[in-house]
Amino acid sequence: MASSAAACSDDEKANWVLNAPRLSGPWRESVEFSGEESQKDIVMLHGSPKHFKQSTTTDASSEEHMLDLEKNSSSVDRSQWVLNGPEPPGLWHELMDSVRETISYCGSKYSSLKSQPMLKSVVSVQREIFPILVWGRNYSISKFKHDLMAGLTIASLCIPQSIGYATLAKLDPQYGLYTSVVPPLIYAIMGTSREIAIGPVAVVSLLLPSMLQKLQDPGADPIAYTKLVLTATFFTGIFQASFGIFRLGFLVDFLSHAAIIGFVAGAAIIIGLQQLKGLLGITHFPNSTDVISVMEAVWSSFHHPWNPHNFMLGCSFLCFILISRFVGRKNRKLFWLPAMAPLLSVILSTLIVYLTRADKHGIKIVKHIKEGLNPSSVHLLQLNSPYIGDVAKVGLIVALVALTEAIAVGKSFSSIKGYHINGNKEMMSMGFMNIVGSLTSCYVATGSFSRTAVNFSAGCETPVSNIVMAITVIISLQFLTRLLYFTPIAILASIILSALPGLINVNEIYNIWKVDKLDFLASIGAFFGVLFASVEIGLLVAVAISFTKIILISIRPGTETLGKLPGTDMFCDTEQYPMAVTVPGIMIVRVKSALFCFANANFVRERIVRWITANKAKGLKGNNTKDAIQIVILDMSNLINIDTSGIATLDDLQRNLLSEGIELAIANPRWQVIHKLKLSNFVGKIGGRVFVTVAEAVAATFSGKIATTC
């Protein structure tokens, strides 16, 4: 076609703008439009708008002829832009680029350091690693007042929660308190978030035993189990720190928002069910965490004689905590009430049990909590145990889940206060605090959502609130553990239970349902996976659904026909824009995916061929050969890439169309796509019919058609 157009004299071509005979309304508009446009282009090149006005008012055909000549050459030029563009970077180059970008951050730091004297550069590296050196210089007594208040508030919430979470993690209660000492101190020095409250959290405390008790039953050998937990904590720290150092923060992104919401909601219910053990005072509780086995255990416990005192005590204090929270929410000034309620409950209930000696009547109590500060646990790490591979896997999963929670928490509060937290730096500090934690008898710590919210509303200013909290916990560990002897376990259960509703975000799940049904599926998949199978399976299901969704959307073999938006040069989906007008005799198709590949190419080809056949049959029936399709324009603007199967299918399509006397043109191919089409000589096969835009392809078609009929 291109060659036949070239064979025609330019005079004849010049007429096509005005005399296009077979065209209906919308098409005429577009032809005139592109004609005007190219005239204007030339005017732009010549520089003066005055000239433009002259040229449009003069009707002299010689001028028009000249213009059209230039127009034509300029349109050819634009096709050349597509065809003779620079080569895209190869696979190796792209890989190196992404590596370079990853390290460029450090690189730019390094280069800026080189220009500084030695001492100064050491100082700035130190500042980079320890943000406390930056914010510490402006620290004031007024800030400290806020931090002290916030620190004491979160400490009062933290002490009972830590003991409860340690029980959930099937560790001795003091491990929860240990974990609220060392990691917060290290985070306060290294972390970039000002609000985050570090310590043990519910989801991680559930995740650890659910994966580790398969390797070592905590009931049978608590010390061996504790060793495993500390080793897993060590690995968690190593993984988190290396994510930060190697800038692999994107790994955290692989747990999608929807999946996390569903997973956390499921985990909250599982955690709640685990609390039934403490609340009902059940002795025999299953190791597996799924709903069915827990409900069976609860059911069978009712058949045995059971002690309702535990339940009544727990429930009444649960009501107290919930009411205090309700009051705190109604009256902003009483924000400390919901934060203090757990500690108040602990003190009150412990007093009641101590005075009534209710532990002799079936109330289960915490009993002995080991006194004193964190002992060293270096000797407890088992890096040459036979389970080392499994423990490392547990460490990896826990590292990802813990980071996801911490970064989500950190981000949501930093964005309220309007500052950025650096994801990779956060990972490094979290990793370092867990490594040191694993050496000082702490299990995995991360940012707790409930305590961070309390910290924020208590008006914390800097990570000093974490230091205050840690010191408070140290004091409790040194002097107050004996007072906790009579604390009823049911109270710890009710404190954990009271924190759970915040984890089940029904609103967000409803939003996800409203916006994205497949995301909802991932969410619900994670939820039911956690509930009815196990915690890991829930995570696996969520990740699997998320990635399946990506594959489905990417290769979904959809196509859309394009029409011209009235008044513009744009061709858009006729379904999205009902006002778009299709051009008779031309079929403009866009593939609704980013890849034209083995999995969808054939489907697209078959659909186009079917449409052509249907159109032909209709044309034969109606005897209007005018509307018969003469060219198929494939809009490639949203194809990021094409593979060899896709190119082979395009070859097929071109041959199929040729046998029907229809030509194929492509518009707006992207960089990789046009490169591959050139390499595989497909551009030659379609006679170089490659255009920058659909509009130019349409215009070229009509000019070509007239050339062949002249």
Q: Is 222 exposed, middle or buried (0-12, 13-18, 19+ CB in 10 A)?
A: middle
Residue 121 one-letter amino acid? S
Of the candidates 14, 157, 258, 399, which one interacts with a copy of itself according to CB under 8 A? 258
Using CA atoms, how far apart are residues 68 and 42, in angstroms rounded to an integer?
Answer: 10
CB 286 within 8 A of CB 547: no
Q: How far is the CB of 56 from a copy of itself (least distance, A)?
A: 6
Nearer to a copy of itself, 7 or 658 (CB): 658
Q: Does 411 bind a copy of itself (CB under 8 A)?
A: yes
Q: How far is the CB of 350 from a copy of itself (least distance, A)?
A: 43
Nearer to a copy of itself, 352 or 692 (CB): 692
> Tokens in use for 52?
């433009």
What is the phi/psi pair of residue 511, to 5°?
A: -60, -45
Of the candidates 241, 346, 595, 662, which one interacts with a copy of itself according to CB under 8 A? 595
Nearer to a copy of itself, 50 or 330 (CB): 50
Q: How far is the CB of 210 from a copy of itself (least distance, A)?
A: 24
Distances (CA, A) of 293 to 35, 525, 578: 75, 19, 55
| Residue whose entry in the numeric block shows the structure tokens 């398969």 | 214
Q: How far is the CB of 111 from a copy of itself (least distance, A)?
A: 13
Of the candidates 63, 217, 573, 627, which one interacts with a copy of itself according to CB under 8 A? 573
Which part of the chain contacts a copy of itself (CB under 8 A), choosing from 205-213, 275-283, 383-391, 586-594? 586-594
Nearer to a copy of itself, 371 or 575 (CB): 575
Tell me the residue length of the chain: 710
Which part of the chain contacts a copy of itself (CB under 8 A), choosing from 197-205, 343-351, 366-374, 508-516? 508-516
Of the candidates 155, 186, 586, 601, which one interacts with a copy of itself according to CB under 8 A? 601
Nearer to a copy of itself, 24 or 637 (CB): 637
Of the candidates 122, 295, 475, 515, which one interacts with a copy of itself according to CB under 8 A? 515
Q: Does 427 bind a copy of itself (CB under 8 A)?
A: no
Of the candidates 11, 253, 296, 371, which one interacts with a copy of itself according to CB under 8 A? 253
Nearer to a copy of itself, 117 or 418 (CB): 418
Nearer to a copy of itself, 391 or 407 (CB): 407
Q: Is 53 exposed, middle or buried (0-12, 13-18, 19+ CB in 10 A)?
A: exposed
Nearer to a copy of itself, 247 or 309 (CB): 247
Q: Does 501 bind a copy of itself (CB under 8 A)?
A: no
Q: Does 592 bind a copy of itself (CB under 8 A)?
A: yes
CB 398 within 8 A of CB 431: no
Distances (CA, A) of 477 to 233, 471, 484, 642: 22, 10, 10, 63
CB 194 within 8 A of CB 459: no
Of the candidates 12, 516, 536, 627, which one interacts with a copy of itself according to CB under 8 A? 516
Q: Does 291 bind a copy of itself (CB under 8 A)?
A: no
Say what the alpha-carbon torsion angle 144, 146, 149, 154 is, to the nearest 10 degrees. -100
Q: Does 57 bind a copy of itself (CB under 8 A)?
A: yes
Of the candidates 323, 655, 708, 709, which one interacts with a copy of itself according to CB under 8 A? 655
Using CA atoms, how far apart are residues 280 and 301, in angstroms rounded to an integer?
Answer: 9
Q: Buried (b) or exposed (e) across 398-427, using 16+ Cβ within 10 A?
A: bbbbbbbbbbbbbeebbeeeeeebbbbbbb
Positive or negative, the Cα torsion across 343, 348, 354, 358? Answer: negative
Using CA atoms, how far apart are residues 232 and 90, in angstroms rounded to an integer?
Answer: 41
Using CA atoms, how far apart are residues 385 and 383, in angstroms rounded to an integer?
Answer: 6
Q: Does 507 bind a copy of itself (CB under 8 A)?
A: no
Q: Is 128 exposed, middle or buried (0-12, 13-18, 19+ CB in 10 A)?
A: middle
**Per-position x/- string for 26-55, each x denoting binding to a copy of itself as judged by CB under 8 A, each - no binding:** ---x--xx--xxx-xx--xx---x---x--
Q: Does 693 bind a copy of itself (CB under 8 A)?
A: yes
Q: Does 10 bind a copy of itself (CB under 8 A)?
A: no
User: Of 64-123, which residues contact a copy of itself (CB under 8 A)?
Assistant: 74, 78, 81, 85-86, 88, 90-91
CB 277 within 8 A of CB 560: no
Of the candidates 63, 536, 569, 627, which one interacts with a copy of itself according to CB under 8 A? 569
Of the candidates 445, 512, 583, 587, which one interacts with a copy of itself according to CB under 8 A? 512
Q: How far is the CB of 257 from a copy of itself (least distance, A)?
A: 4
Q: How far is the CB of 340 from a copy of itself (least distance, A)?
A: 33
195 contacts: CB under 8 Å, gap ≥ 6: 410, 413, 414, 417, 452, 455, 456, 460
3-state DSSP call for residue 588?
strand
Q: How far is the CB of 658 from a copy of itself (least distance, A)?
A: 9
Nearer to a copy of itself, 359 or 569 (CB): 569
Of the candidates 291, 570, 589, 710, which one interacts with a copy of itself according to CB under 8 A? 570
Contacts with a copy of itself by CB under 8 A: the residue count is 99
Q: Is 19 exposed, middle or buried (0-12, 13-18, 19+ CB in 10 A)?
A: exposed
3-state DSSP call for residue 100?
helix
Nearer to a copy of itself, 112 or 287 (CB): 112
3-state DSSP call for residue 114?
helix
Q: Does 539 bind a copy of itself (CB under 8 A)?
A: no
> Tokens in use for 617?
């049959």
> Tokens in use for 288?
């597996």
Which part of the chain contacts a copy of itself (CB under 8 A), choosing from 213-221, 266-274, 626-634, 642-650? 642-650
Nearer to a copy of itself, 8 or 544 (CB): 544
Nearer to a copy of itself, 136 or 684 (CB): 684
Nearer to a copy of itself, 139 or 671 (CB): 671
| Residue whose entry in the numeric block shows the structure tokens 């747990």 | 255
Q: How far is the CB of 655 from a copy of itself (least distance, A)?
A: 5
Name the packing angle between helices 257-280 and 535-555 (round to 10°): 160
Nearer to a copy of itself, 128 or 569 (CB): 569
User: Of 305-364, which residues contact a copy of itself (CB under 8 A)?
Assistant: none
Using CA atoms, how far apart are residues 581 and 33, in angstroms rounded to an integer?
Answer: 15
Which part of the chain contacts a copy of itself (CB under 8 A), choosing from 348-356, 391-399, 625-633, 640-648? 640-648
Using CA atoms, how far apart are residues 316 and 70, in angstroms rounded to an integer?
Answer: 88
Query: Beta 663-667 vs 586-591: how paired, if at all?
Result: unpaired
CB 72 within 8 A of CB 10: yes
Nearer to a copy of itself, 242 or 511 (CB): 511
Q: Is 148 exposed, middle or buried (0-12, 13-18, 19+ CB in 10 A)?
A: middle
User: Of 171-230, which residues contact a copy of itself (CB under 8 A)?
Assistant: none
What is the phi/psi pair of residue 510, to 5°?
A: -65, -40
Of the candidates 259, 396, 499, 662, which one interacts with a copy of itself according to CB under 8 A? 259
Q: Does 418 bind a copy of itself (CB under 8 A)?
A: yes
